[in-house]
Amino acid sequence: MVDLPLDDVTRFGLHSRLPSPAYARELVALAEETGLTSIAVGDHLAFALPIDDSILGLGMIATLSEKITIATSVYLLPLRHPALVAKQTITLARMAPGRFIFGVGVGGEFPGEFALAGIPHNERGARLNEGIEIVRKLWTGEPVAHEGRFHSFPETQLRPAPEPAGGPPIWVGGRSKAAIKRAATLCDGWISYVVTPEQYREGLEGIAREYATTGRDLPSYGSAHLLFCRLDDTYEAAFDSANALLSERYAMDFSRATKRYVALGSPQDVAEKLSEFHKAGVRFFEFDFLGTPEERVEQTRRFAKEVRPLLDFEWTQP
């Protein structure tokens, strides 16, 4: 196993859009009923499907549960001014003290949203690095100044400070060389997406190598994976349903990616896929159960009743 301080036990959570307060209430109740520990949301300004603001959506979840961890997965920090983001995330961290994971990423698959925000597409990596630095500075609650490539400001203090002190953990998405280095040197965890278990292992090993050169000594390192999942009686039925939904979501033929990256089929099929990812180092699963809202509820309950008992590793619940 890679030389990173990974958690001893594994956590399961949901990844979902939050289109309404009523749906948020239903999702919290579902997570607590089925023993899931977290709810994560994605983030875009403009997307192929309707999507609401991630920070405001998580604010709803924070007020509905004192147990569920909330997470952005991932927030496109390069599209926003980091000072505003620091203020919003301080507020969110205070709404859910110790239960907020700030997942960030560069995005880029929808260039139009960068044009909409007036941000050059090719600056997103550098802007994310500087944005993380600024957010961490402002999270201290102390007077801080900054002089950078994209942002500069005189000594300024944001109050109140976040809870816990220093702010929430920052996890980062991406699998490029720059993303792997960013995960090891600037962040507290890694969130993967559309990778195989072998690719996940290779990514985590790359992070471990970079981490070993930094002198950092984190008490734990988050190793997360956003996994599309579709349970059905047969692989073929699961594939057909999942592929239709993902092809619509991403406005492209997703069939090759569906076969390669999605957990599909019977409970035993899905349990085996999860075991492969766990052996590769995943300790925080975000399940995007594919289907209509009603199907997602049924899929989540079926996972709890039929998949979880088949797993060959330890998992925790709230």
For residue 294, give the 3-state DSSP assignment.
helix
Average pLDDT over residues 230-258: 94
Q: How confident is the model at residue 93 (pLDDT cuts 50, 70, 90)?
A: very high
pLDDT above 90 for 249: no
What is the percent of the chain with per-residue pLDDT over 90, rounded to a whole number?
94
Condensed to tens digits (0 to 9), the pLDDT of residues 202-211 reads 999 999 999 9
Domain ranges of the chain: 10-316
Q: What are phi and psi of 263, to 5 degrees?
A: -80, 115
Average pLDDT over residues 181-205: 97
DSSP bridge partners of 69: 38
pLDDT of the residue at 318: 59
For residue 318, give the 3-state DSSP assignment.
coil
Question: 93, 167 in Cβ contact below 8 A?
Answer: yes
pLDDT above 70 for 240: yes
Average pLDDT over residues 167-182: 96
pLDDT of the residue at 250: 85
Q: How confident is the model at residue 1 (pLDDT cuts 50, 70, 90)?
A: very low
Q: How confident is the model at residue 61 (pLDDT cuts 50, 70, 90)?
A: very high
Domain topology for 10-316: TIM Barrel (3.20.20)
pLDDT: is 165 or 250 the higher one? 165
Q: At 128, list the tokens.
A: 């994310």
Residue 159: C-alpha distances to residues 59, 141, 181 (Å)? 19, 6, 31
DSSP states of 236-250? HHHHHHHHHHHHHHT
pLDDT of the residue at 48: 81
Cα separation, 161 vs 140, whole angstroms? 7
pLDDT of the residue at 97: 96
Residue 114: C-alpha distances to residues 42, 102, 193, 251 (Å)? 16, 21, 21, 18
Question: 167, 79 in Cβ contact below 8 A?
Answer: no
pLDDT above 50 for 258: yes
Q: How confident is the model at residue 23 (pLDDT cuts 50, 70, 90)?
A: very high
Residue 256: C-alpha distances to residues 68, 238, 262, 293 (Å)? 34, 14, 10, 25
Q: At 86, list the tokens.
A: 């620091």
Of how many residues is the chain composed?
A: 318
Cβ atoms < 10 Å from Cβ of 317: 15
The single residue listed with the structure tokens 């700030």 is 102
Question: 229, 288 in Cβ contact below 8 A?
Answer: yes
Helices (H), 67-226: 82-95, 111-117, 124-139, 177-185, 197-212
Average pLDDT over residues 10-35: 95
pLDDT above 70 for 215: yes
Cα separation, 193 vs 203, whole angstroms? 11
Summary mean pLDDT of the chain: 96
Condensed to tens digits (0 to 9), the pLDDT of residues 110-149 reads 999 999 999 999 999 999 999 999 999 999 999 999 999 9
Condensed to tens digits (0 to 9), the pLDDT of residues 176-187 reads 999 999 999 999
At CA 224, angle to CA 276 and CA 160, rounded to 5?
165
For residue 5, give the 3-state DSSP assignment.
coil
pLDDT of the residue at 316: 85
Question: 231, 290 in Cβ contact below 8 A?
Answer: no
Average pLDDT over residues 88-108: 97
Which DSSP category does 54 fall into? H
